[in-house]
Amino acid sequence: MKTTIDQDISKVKALRRMQRNALALLGFAVLLFIIAIYFKIPMLQAFSEAAMVGGIADWFAVVALFRHPLGIPIWHTAIIPTKKNEIGENLGNFVSEEFLNREKLEIKLDEFNFATKASDWLSQEENADKIANVVAVNIIPGILKTIKDEDIKRFIQVQFKEKLEGINFGNWVAVALEPLQKGDLKNQMLTNLLEVMSSELTNNKDLIRQKVKASTPLLSFGLADKSITEGVFNGLQDFLNEAKKPESAVRLKIDEYIFDFLEKVRNSEEMRVKINDMILGFVGKKEVQDYINGIWDEIKLSITNDLNKGDDSSIKNSISNLIQTFGNGIKEDSIMIDKINNFIKDDLLSVLLNNKKVIGDLISSTVKSWDGKEVSEKLELEIGKDLQYIRINGTLVGGVIGLIIYGVEQLYHYFVV
């Protein structure tokens, strides 16, 4: 805004300076006329008279474009403000008929080569950074502020639930556990599990003693605690040691149980439904729902924190790199360039030609909506400075023509009269 105001002030100063120059030249012609009359210099009188006529006539012509000369409403003056509507209508028709012409538009669009120019521009780091900066500073934060967190969280929950409901976890479990029925993997895993259980049993012997003590009658005075604890501990340890043996009855029973379970998972629809229900029920728990809701909060916070890093933002830099890569990719692909240019050409031609009357009417109605005085002032500000040369040229050319006429007249009197 400040730059526009400064430019307008500069234009006003330039216009006023040229007006003063033109007026000064006209004043000089008047001074010459007075000198010629006083000193009776016919040639100078002829020059100054014609110069004054030319300067005043061109002053009238220039001023008549923008306002009534000297404020007098002379016929066919203040042309721009009074003929604004006709000018707008003629301008709209001229643009729609002369510029929005298929042959001319096709030539210009072919010359322009939009795809090449755009790819060259996008492939430059400075330009890519400008676009990325707009996206990172304005667009992404604007989107984050516009959307409601509740809507996003609800969307995530719905999508998460729908995706889970579409998954047959029973099949997944069956496929995952299928290797356990083959080879030594099952035996190795079961042995490892029993080893862990045996180790944990040993590590928690004191805990077993405390539990036993808490369950025995007070009248035993702790006499039975130790023997009961030892009995429980030894019994469990013997069981686990027996189960570690591949050929033991305990191990065979465990193998049989695992085999039956895997068969049910693989072949029983009821078991698969139970597995699905169990997993979906777990997902429906409040703790899980809170975690799902927190996903969006974490994403939003991460995006915001990254964008706040400015030039070090990974999101901004990724966007910039993506834009440069895109620009370079198009630049090196002649087929893509042709496709883009043809697409723009066909699409733009179609839009412009189908709406040429609308565009003409838009120009016409826009000009008609302007205030006549304001339009006149703006146009004078733009072209008034150059029009002052018409006044200057009119004064000088008029003076020269006056001299020529005077010379012809003198020759006529000399040779004829």
Task: State pLDDT tens for residues 373-391.
Answer: 888 888 888 888 889 999 9
User: 19-48: string of b/e by CB count within 10 Å (b at 16+)?
Assistant: beebbebbeebeebbeebeeeeeeebbbbb
Averaged pLDDT, 97-101: 78
How high is the pLDDT of residue 222? 53
Averaged pLDDT, 58-81: 89
How high is the pLDDT of residue 101? 77
pLDDT digits (tens, 9 = 90+) for 6-18: 777 888 899 999 9
How high is the pLDDT of residue 389? 93
Task: Answer for the pair 97, 105: CB distance below 8 angstroms, yes or no.
Answer: no
How high is the pLDDT of residue 319? 92
Q: What are phi and psi of 76, to 5 degrees?
A: 65, 35
- Give yes or no for residue 187 having a pLDDT over 60: yes
Helix-helix angle 149-165:269-283, to 10 degrees = 170
How high is the pLDDT of residue 4? 65
Torsion (CA) 122, 125, 127, 132 in degrees, nearest 10: 90
How high is the pLDDT of residue 8? 77
The percent of residues above 90 in pLDDT, for the chain, comes to 22
pTM, two decimal places = 0.47
How high is the pLDDT of residue 332? 83
How high is the pLDDT of residue 404? 93
pLDDT-derived band at 219 (thresholds 50, 70, 90) equals very low
Averaged pLDDT, 321-343: 87
pLDDT digits (tens, 9 = 90+) for 164-178: 777 777 677 766 666
How high is the pLDDT of residue 20? 94
- Give yes or no for residue 81 having a pLDDT over 60: yes
How high is the pLDDT of residue 278? 79
How high is the pLDDT of residue 63? 92
pLDDT digits (tens, 9 = 90+) for 132-183: 999 988 888 888 888 888 888 888 877 877 777 777 776 777 666 666 656 5
- The whole-angstrom separation of Cα 259 and Cα 253 is 10
- The whole-angstrom separation of Cα 305 and Cα 342 is 42
Averaged pLDDT, 48-59: 94
- The whole-angstrom separation of Cα 207 and Cα 213 is 10
In one letter, which amino acid is 259?
A: F
- Give yes or no for residue 218 having a pLDDT over 80: no
How high is the pLDDT of residue 238? 79
pLDDT-derived band at 213 (thresholds 50, 70, 90) equals low
Domain segments of the chain as ranges: 2-82+371-415, 126-332
